Structure 1
Amino acid sequence: MKRITYLEDALVLMELTNLGIEINATVGRLSYGCDVLFRVIDIKEVNGQKTAILFGEDYRLMADSPIDDLTPIDKKERIRRNQEFRSLEEQSLQLFRQDIHLLKEKQEYHKTNAYREDLNYFQIPGRVLHLDGDPTYLQKCLDLYERIGVPVNGVHCKEKEMPERIPALIEQYRPHILVITGHDAYSKSKGKKSDIGAYRHSRYFVKTVNEARRKVPHLDQLVIFAGACQSHFESLIHAGANFASSPQRVNIHALDPVYIVAKISFTAFTEPVNVWDVLRNTLTGDKGLGGIETRGVLRTGMPFKPVVDD
């Protein structure tokens, strides 16, 4: 019997491979018009039907789908979609850099008494601890942090393990800003949108925020972003997140958390961060992201005089 089972599995896997449906393949869901591109992470048998476990290529969305609802995406289409997203990312990055430039000009104006004093000063942006359920997305985010100049430590951790690991990670890295993200999804078949049990990973994100707030209760001493695609926004905010996804239960872009926390990292601790100013340069906007009034975490010191060896 086992030999027959193995043979059947091998034949099914061969058939799927011939269709281009294999682990790490890029696919689209026919029933959704291939609106989102996914990576195939795993293929399982659910209720006698071959089902693929999917991660979004550019959105922090996790889904499962019957194999017969999937179609491989050819290289030409992947390149076209990729170019569209990279263009949007660059536009968002340019707008963000303009914001940071204006912030720095404003800070310089105040520190130098309207440019009447020549002061040498230095600035320390807020340190970020980025906890991510997807190693590929984590690396993309770390690359963007580096381009922007935000000090960051990145940790890959499965969503279910995050609540247990976060206390020790906070002790180890002592961040000013914490990002808790990965993949999520709302399933209508599991309940109403108000029911956190209807979400794939929201309850783990909520537990992680709760554990982080046990360590650092004050909202301005540790700024938290939490959530992924379609996450239970209200529960995350009530648990103690400063910013979260997703108010309208829509998909969020993989890099959106970076733009939010980078703006906070470069805003002075004496200044409040306007929620709309944070959201307007993200790729998703206020349908997928929201938050509460929060202070920045950047600190300025002086004097800045490089040490010269004798």
Structure 2
Amino acid sequence: MRIEHVSKRFGSVQAVDDLSFTVQPGRVTGFLGPNGAGKTTTLRMLLGLVVPGAGSATIGGLTYRELDRPARVVGAALEAASFHPGRTARDHLRVYAPQVGVPDGRCDEVLALVGLGAAAGRRVGGFSLGMRQRLGLATTLLGDPRVLVLDEPANGLDPEGIAWLRGFLRHLASEGRTVLVSSHVLSEVQQTVDDVVIVADGRLVHSSTLAALATLAGRTVRVASPDVAGLQRLVADSWPGAVEPPDDARPDRVVLRDVDASAVGAAAFAAGLELHELTTQETGLEDVFLQLTNGQAVVA
């Protein structure tokens, strides 16, 4: 799956701006960004529901409209599925089976796959939100697609439902499928995804493996001393490669990355250096995500 220099404007609003990224098979990719970042518009262009103003969005080198029997190639859920409350779960899927080109027996297969086998004969009107989410996912799987595109699939799920979804998406990726999941909350998907694509204001701000993104998180120690020259010597002798760019113009303060405050305090004591500040700040993945989407620089 490839998005190449895609742009889309709606009137005066630039929804997507020269966006490019690739989604690999056998991996779960998190497509992340705040509400209004352009995620849904990008997915709609990928699925042929919106025509790009520039660039291309392809699956296996073809646009969605060029795919032969696209529901057998791509399973997509871009919004909360609507269900007739009087239909059973099985009958809901039987409505879609002929359109996808699969026999009725496939309906029971996918219901079992998402854990609704025992509820196949129950009316959807009595389903919980989590069960409805599972039924929506079963609908996307009818054609046994190799590509899944899911927009905010964990919305409204309770912790048990989120845990189930994480495991299920990991299972689908382990079968070699390409799985793209959008979300506006990194913490919601960070235990699921292998790769992350982060957008803000329609533009790409970060693309990497989750492990590479995690290297941007960490611990910093802020050290201040009235003896500016002594502080600079201490840092140069002990942690020359750990100095972060200054977050203010104060010459008496240094910010060190991934250094223990206790080690700094001990070294300052041994050097007879008076300290006026020695504080530790933890930066988690969610903090990095917020900094990226708010336009703040993040140092690797």
**Structure 1 length-normalised TM:** 0.24
Q: Which has the higher strand share?
A: 2
Q: Which has the higher contact order (CA 8 A, sep 6+)?
A: 2
**Structure 2 length-normalised TM:** 0.25
Q: Which has the higher helix share?
A: 1
